[in-house]
Chain A
Amino acid sequence: MSEAQLVQGNEACVKGALAAGCTFYGGYPITPSSEIAEHMVRRMPEVGGVFIQMEDEIASLAAVIGASLGGSKAMTATSGPGFSLMQEHIGFATMAEVPCVIVDVMRGGPSTGMPTSPSQADVMQARWGTHGDHSAIVLAPSSVGEVFDLTVRAFNLAERFRTPVILLYDEIIGHTRESVVLPASVTVVDRVRPNAESEDFWPKKAASNGVPEMADFGDGHRFHVTGLAHDTRGFPTNDSAVAEALISRLHDKIEAHTDEIVEVETFMMDDAEIAIFAYGIVGRSAAEAVERARADGIKAGLVRPLTLWPFPYAEVKEAAQQVDTIVVAEMNLGQLIGEVERAAGGKAEIVGHLRADGEPITPTALRDVLAKLDGGPA
């Protein structure tokens, strides 16, 4: 039976990674993510894993990819500036279909920005930071407990879909200590490996679930891995039909399985007339604001995506058909609000409550927004 323990968000990430079977960590120091590395260096030896501090974030994700090809579950963690450097290898891992987990503990930007202040300004970087057409899986926890859960989920989705998965949370969640009861055991998903005796191994031919089986380097199947467009044997090609088939498959293996990926939590939405759309730490402020608004007689509700990408278009559309107004609250100058507008398709008024000054969006601020929109005193 698990007991309540006081855990920091970044530490919960490490605990989740170990529960999911992570045995390799490669990273580079950066505020506000460094505690992940500092816990990993202690925990990896306990599970026979490897910790290495690399020379930069580019190398960190390269090492993670190398370890994953060797058969390890591997991860790295960083913040905005380092996340920018990792984009090259997020693209590589996407193209080469190498499972891995990247944690971005967001801080104020652009550039060096505000290293010790929270933000949610990397949402679009997580989706479109690397070049080329691709899909992305991005998860956004709101609490220390959810950091644990979604870290496990990030590894499971990475293994299921052979793709990099990004865990996106901000400085507040990373540094907050909360009392949590962590599960004694979790469901763990492993990549599907080919039969060791199989002579007929096609490293990039998809199985019925849209994802090719993945052999470990050194286990008898000799194969090629490349970031170039390639055929089902994994070998480079300039054949446009072959390239098109690859790019479409990489896209579809995620977009055709959103039911396995997308998670949205709703709160007091049953009779809501006004909804807040918020994620991460803002989701918690929003829940508090909704409760206070309800006490004032305002029919408010919350739509909180735990999956930012693929974006929950269907769930937001459903909410837009029900309510008059959706308040999109995010700690940036408006990144997911455009997706909410696209999903709503004019069915509800979309109002932004945006903040990019390194300060959190408070429950009081959101309660006031709800009161004002409801026609009451602001």
Chain B
Amino acid sequence: MSALLECRDLVKHFGGLVAVNRVSFQVHAGEIFGLIGPNGAGKTTLFRLISGVYPPTAGQILFKGEKIAGLKPHATCHKGVVSTHQIVRPFREMTVRDNVRVGAEFGRRVDGERDVLAWTREVLEFTGLAPQADKLSKNLPLAGRKRLEIARALAANPELLLLDEVVAGLNPTETAQTMELIRQIRARAITIIMVEHVMRAIMGISDRIMVLNYGEKIAEGQPREIVQNPVVIEAYLGKQYAG
């Protein structure tokens, strides 16, 4: 099985700070790949390297065998890698529909000319935002704005979707709804990498999980293995709980 995304020895320095240090991993098509780690572990930086916000200091990123490191975000988006933002950033003065339309108009194109408006409508229906379509996005509650963040990214038609803390700040009901949405996205053959702090959520949904600490990969495996891994427990809870 060939990897959809492969990162080889990725390194990112910010001045003297090593945010990501020689991280290598592969993500396969159709997977939900979880990314966890304590605060400041380099999760968001890793996302930004993959989506092209930062160029890596060293290392290579291959998407479907093609080098994408160093491309601008709009270019990686056109290749099929779309990310959401940890802190939601809707186009505030635009309606929900127009927010989604930006993704539909400028995202990756497939099967020739697709009707942008019909596609926008489909994404709104799929994400359950259709009833709010004509509201200004700044008037949505947090859960709605988080959902919009996902909807916009979906409208850009990704093959690989990077979700950065999409359930942070949501109540249990909303969290469950978002998790259900992520399952449905996977059912559409979209591969997902997600960063999440809500352990129950990410453990329940991920096929595989990678753990980062101080910019380094300390573990990778199935959720069951990860929760029992002494190195991971140490990183999260301190030495006295490990082993």
A binds B: no
A interface residue numbers (CB < 8 A to B): none
